[in-house]
Structure 1
Amino acid sequence: MTDANAPVTPFPRVVQTVLDTTDPRGLAEFYRELLGLRYRPGDEPPAPGEPDPNGEDWLVLTGDGLWPLAFQKVPEITPPTWPDPEVPQQLHLDMTVPDGDALDAQRERAESLGARLLFDRRDDPDEPLYVFADPAGHPFCIFVG
C-alpha cells in the first residue's frame, strides 16, 4: 500500500507501532479506552456472541495526530520486569498531559482500565511521571510535559 501524498525520501517511514500480545482484542480495548482511539475500518469488535476473527490475530487503532497502534497475536509473551533488568522493557510508549491534576486523573483512569503502577515519580519537580504496565505487561509512561 502506497500513500500518494507521502514525500519521497531516501529513508523509511514509521507507519505504526506494533505490540505483541496473547490477547489482541483485550489489549486493543485497553489502549482504545486509555487514549480515545478508534478501530481501523473492519477491525471493530463484533456483535456480542459473534466470532472475532480479527481479534484473534491482528488489530489496528488509529487517532488524530498519532500513527496507528497495532496489536499482533503471539503464542506467549514474557513481560518486562522493569525496573529490574532481568527482562528489559525493549520498547515503551510515552504519553504526556498538561499538568499534575491531569496526571493524577490519568493514573486513576489507567488503573481502572487494568494498568499496573510500576514507578511513581509524581513528586519530581522537573518531570512528574508514572510508569505503568499495560494488561500484557508492556511499560508505558504518562508524564507532565
Structure 2
Amino acid sequence: MADYPQLLHTVLDTPEVRQLAEFYRLLLGLQYRPGDEPSADGDDGVDWLVLTDAHGNRKVAFQQVDRLERTTWPRPDVPMQMHLDLTVPDRETLEIQHRRAIDLGAELLLDRTDDPDEPLYVYADPAGHPFCIFVA
C-alpha cells in the first residue's frame, strides 16, 4: 500500500492577512493556531496565519502578497483559479449563513437559490477569493 501526501490546509493569498483570517475565523467558527492570535496592541504585521478546528486540525492558512487581482467571474477576464465550497443542511440554514457572510464582508456574486436541486450563493471574500455556500 502506497503512502499518499496528505492535505494539510488550503492557503489563500491576500494583501491583508489578519483581515481575511478574521473573516474566515468568524464565518467558519475556527480558531487561530496557538501563537497566531492577534497581538494585544493590534499591530502584529503578520505575513502568515493558520486557522484550525476545535481539535487543532489545520483548515485554512493565509499568506501575505503585495497584490492580488480579484476574479472577474462570471466574466472570463480573471478566472476563479480555485474556490471553496461550503455546505449547509437546508434552505433555512442557507439563508442564515447568507446573511452572516454578507454581514462579515462577503460580496454576493451569484444568487442561484431558485435551483430546486442545489440552491446556492456564490460570493467573493474581502480579498476577492470566490466561495460558495449551498445546500447539500
Q: What percentage of aligned pairs have identical amino acids?
A: 61
Paired residue secondary structure (1:137): coil
**Matched AA of 2:11:** V
Larger Rg: 1
Q: State how 1:75-114 maps to structure 2 within 5 Å.
A: 75-114=66-105
Is 1:52–2:44 an aligned residue pair? yes
Q: CA deviation at 1:123?
A: 1.1
Off by >4 Å, runs of 4+ in structure 1: 64-67
Unmatched tracts of structure 1, length 5 or more: 1-7
Alignment RMSD (CA, Å): 1.6
Q: State how 1:1-12 maps to structure 2 within 5 Å.
A: 9-12=2-5
Is 1:14–2:7 an aligned residue pair? yes
Of 88, 112, 115, which residue of structure 2 is paired with 1:121? 112
Q: CA deviation at 1:104?
A: 0.6
Superposed CA deviations along residues 75-131 of structure 1, whole A, max 9, x for unmatched, are 000011111111000010000001101001111000000000000001100000000
Unmatched tracts of structure 2, length 5 or more: none
Q: What is residue 134 of structure 2 aligned with on the other side?
A: 143
**Matched AA of 2:50:** V
